[in-house]
Amino acid sequence: MTQRFMVQGMTCNGCLNKVKKAVESIEGVSTVVIDLASGRLSFASNTPMSLSQIKEVVPADYPVLAHDAQTMPPNKWRQLRPLFLIFAFLFGTVFLIHASQWNSAEAMLDAMAGFFLIFSFFKLLDVPGFVQAFRNYDPLAKRLAFYAWIYPFIELLLAVVLLLRFNVAIALIITTIVLGITTIGVIAKLRTKQTIECACLGTTLNLPMTEATLIENLIMLGMASFTLYS
């Protein structure tokens, strides 16, 4: 028989794996499936499992509820906090580096390089997971799986090129094209009001796609365009 529950508090694939292993440890349980975004837990079992039995094995950090329980909507600020912190640290660092002798174009190049360096790092932590999430909304990645697989390396290469100031104009043009394509996909998904995972920081942090994703892309496109034509 198939049973269903709700699990709260999961924020990444590591959390999901902890809960999954705990449920799989129950005798007679098989085919455990967990949806990270919604918190839905389902599994097959030889005998009915009560809510208390599931709670006994699942870590207390992840409250288990009945499948039909009313849950509070996720707090967007809490979900997007890692993204805001990254931007705050990135722009803060760039400001401190250039504060003594400010040059807007140079500061933007370093900001974009830092952006690509950080974001490619998180994507490379789980490339298969990133590919799956990225292909849900990027128009080119949907058509060409190979593009999704090399995308983290494109970002890493752009970071290095911008830091070295090597063929900057070409790097900015590529940045505009790549982020422009992704932005089109983001806008299309936001218009459908579907809840999907944003792949901007890979899958480790499980960020939802919101207007913040669009703003992030538009900021990068604005900096690239300003630097390219300044």
**pLDDT surpasses 90 at 114:** yes
Q: CA–CA separation, 40 vs 49, rounded Å?
A: 16
115-127, pLDDT tens digit by residue?
Answer: 999 999 999 998 9
Instruction: Tell which residue, 132, 124, 115, has the closest CA to residue 178.
Output: 115
Q: CA–CA separation, 183 vs 145, rounded Å?
A: 18
Q: State what percent of residues in the chain have pLDDT above 90.
A: 46
Q: pTM for this structure? A: 0.67
Q: How confident is the model at residue 142 (pLDDT cuts 50, 70, 90)?
A: very high
Could you count the other beta carbons within 10 Å of the beta carbon of residue 107? 18
Q: Is the dihedral of CA 162, 167, 173, 178 positive or negative?
A: negative
Q: CA–CA separation, 111 vs 50, rounded Å?
A: 52
The answer to whether 224 touches 213, Cβ cutoff 8 Å, is: no
Domains of the chain (ranges plus CATH)? 2-66 (3.30.70.100), 76-229 (no CATH)
